[in-house]
Structure 1
């Protein structure tokens, strides 16, 4: 009871901080309307509102991290999280000075392959970062709990980069992972492979090439990141075998940022002014994200807001297994429930986990990450995900 009260108080405090940011961005946009040709480079974080966590390629508290800028034409970046299970005592492989570097040659046979999780942070499309302290802590928890290599995506934020920039960035990271997987399979590792880009730097990312298993890829999205993850899953379905050897085996949508305007849900009526996202905040975020304010008038038919728009997405029966996480006091929960129900209707493995007495982003927001609910949520997700990422004889099978 006390932990639930603390979680709700923390959610309310975060609500007003997010509301001030949305109001500031809205005011700035009104004062300085976007030019016809905005700078496509964009930004991936707001230093004024985010507390960054530095990366460290050496193993600290069980996880090593590194940052990569993967698109020279934009600010798109990633942070890789690698658990230290890849250098267990039995492998005979030790980290090197200056950070972990996988060995080459005969020792490659000893390298352990891990599932790869592509993670998209939350923030209403306008805030958050893959390098923020809270996202760093969350991804570390996932890397250790799921024994997986996590790739946290730093997509471009609105209003500097409006729809569909964030979606394009999600697909770019997926395609980059496909390229990396092919280079790792056919090009060997590191500088020894002879694969170089125009700057003379090896194009093969050694951690992914050494330890990433592209046949066990999971999409993990938080709030607006869940919206992006679902879009990436749709594109993966459309691409099919063109993504080989990458295979999306499952996705996890944590309190997805879906929206409608014509018929408000029960929650949208009852939670108009309370909890983390109020109706007014929701509208501000979507108006900052969409390129034309008029597009907000009918979000039920906008493919960015409604994953059930008929004819604008691949058939739901082809979507990957999808676990949806919802919170009892979330303004958006019923939209997520409707999507999950439609997936189950076409026989997709799409369970729904609801957590009581908590609000939106209860398991991923700031110090709420330390609450029992957040820790239980990560463990619950891990139990389900391991059905799709386990290797018989090597890891537990659920």
Structure 2
């Protein structure tokens, strides 16, 4: 069983989250629509970005869509700039790292990360998500791009899902702009405000042919959608290649309850009541259905066929209300010969590896290490590690 501290924090978390969900449910519909959207709640504790390799990882925030609040936080581990073959890096006048032009740069895989929060809360800039992404960037030796997708109910389905795929397309655009830069055209590419359209950290260090998706809770639903869209897009995403995805505590549900959804209906952190409220806030009223494609990964007719999906690591916890459906999805992937291992943690609770108050527990550290061990076989070096 989870220890006393976990149980106490679960009580506090559920009280606060249910209060948030209920207040959002009771907000008059006329005040909800917001095409621009929001990516965090006022109550969320935010960690400031730091582009100067604090704790071995530099971070920066960028806004990538003029028509919405969609934003990104980029996590660049210092291994990208401290290799013996890389030029010695310097911190520029603005106080952060800027890649030197005309120099060799180590290329790292790119991981798109989607935070949890039941589609209605959480943030890519939150204290917990910032710490988790730093850990993953260092353990996996990757550039983590944490996606600040739009939250419900201000932005209903499919807004968050579309934001996820929009970032993947943006990543492909960045990779192509970087190629243009290497042939001397980069300096002539500016947006309507006169700013360069090229993101320098990704241009210098990102290897999009080794792209991984990682989703936590509701973010896992988004990651799985983005993976499906990437399969459908095929070569249209070149040079981006999604080589693997990691689904941590997926926010899956369905109309026919599983054993865990019955047994753990009042479980720790996210329980049945909270999940139902979250789905009512996320799905448009006319589309509300627990077998909606966003909710249930195993409904008949979902495309593309499961055999086309990338290698998929699924992480579940013993005391997670949603565990059984995630396990079933993993089993279906294995049946069609997709590499889809399952990591099942005894005494674990929903999001035990990503919640801020649980990040320093031994179990959370072990989980992150286990994830890094698996993903490294799909992001091992391809071609040249350095570019000029």
TM over 0.5: yes
Kept in 1: contact 2:47–2:130 (CA 8 A): yes
3-state SS of the aligned residue for 2:173?
helix
Distance of 2:13 and 2:41 partners within structure 1? 16
Task: Tell me the secondary structure at the aligned position of residue 389 of structure 1.
Answer: coil
Work out whether 1:287 is the aligned partner of 2:284. Answer: no
Matching of residue 86 in structure 1 with residue 80 in structure 2: yes
1:231 counterpart residue number: 225
* Pairing 1:381–2:371 present: yes
What is the match of residue 33 of structure 2? 38
Question: Counterpart of 1:172?
Answer: 166
Alignment match, 1:143: 137
- Contact 1:11–1:362 (CA<8 Å) still a contact in 2? no
Equivalence for 1:17:
16
State the Cα deviation string for residues 56-82 of structure 1 (Å, max 9, x = none).
111101000000000000000000000
Question: Which of 248, 262, 265 is the equivalent residue of 1:269?
Answer: 262
What residue ranges of structure 1 are gaps of 5+ in the alignment?
A: none
Q: Tell me if the contact between 2:243 and 2:310 (Cα under 8 Å) persists in the aligned partners.
A: yes
Distance 2:6 2:361 in 1: 7
Map Cα deviations across residues 138-166 of structure 1 (whole Å, 9 max, x no partner): 00000100011000000000000000000
Q: For residues 190 and 5 of structure 1, what CA distance do their matches in structure 2 show?
A: 60
Are the counterparts in 2 of residues 116 and 217 from structure 1 also a CA contact under 8 Å?
A: yes
SS of equivalent residue, structure 1 residue 329: coil
What do the CA deviations read for 1:178-223 (whole angstroms, capped 9, x no partner)? Answer: 1001111123399953211111111110000000001100000000
Instruction: Report the TM-score when normalising by structure 1.
Output: 0.92
TM-superposed CA distance for 1:4, in Å, is: 4.2
Count of residues in correspondence between the two structures: 382
2: CA distance, partners of 1:332 / 1:192 = 47
Give the corresponding residue for 1:242: 236
Q: RMSD of the TM alignment (CA)?
A: 1.9
Question: Tell me, which stretches of 5 or more residues in structure 2 are unaligned?
Answer: none
TM-score by length of 2: 0.94
1:391 deviation in Å? 1.4
CA distances 1:90-129 after superposition (whole Å, capped 9, x unpaired): 2332222321000111x1xx21000100000000000000
Distance (Å, rounded) in 1 between the aligned partners of 2:174 and 2:352? 34
* Bigger Cα displacement from structure 2, 190-199 vs 145-154: 190-199
Query: Where does residue 211 of structure 2 map in the other structure?
Result: 217
1:4/1:378 Cα in 2 relative to 1: closer, same or farther (>3 Å)? farther
Structure 2 counterpart SS, 1:138: helix
Deviation at 1:8, TM superposition (A): 4.0
Alignment of 1:63 with 2:18, yes or no, is: no
Cα contact 2:174–2:203 (8 A) shared by 1: yes
- Separation in 2, partners of 1:39, 1:240: 32
Q: Offset of 1:5 from its aligned partner?
A: 4.2
Please say if residues 104 and 189 of structure 1, whose CA atoms lie closer than 8 Å, have aligned partners that are also in contact. no
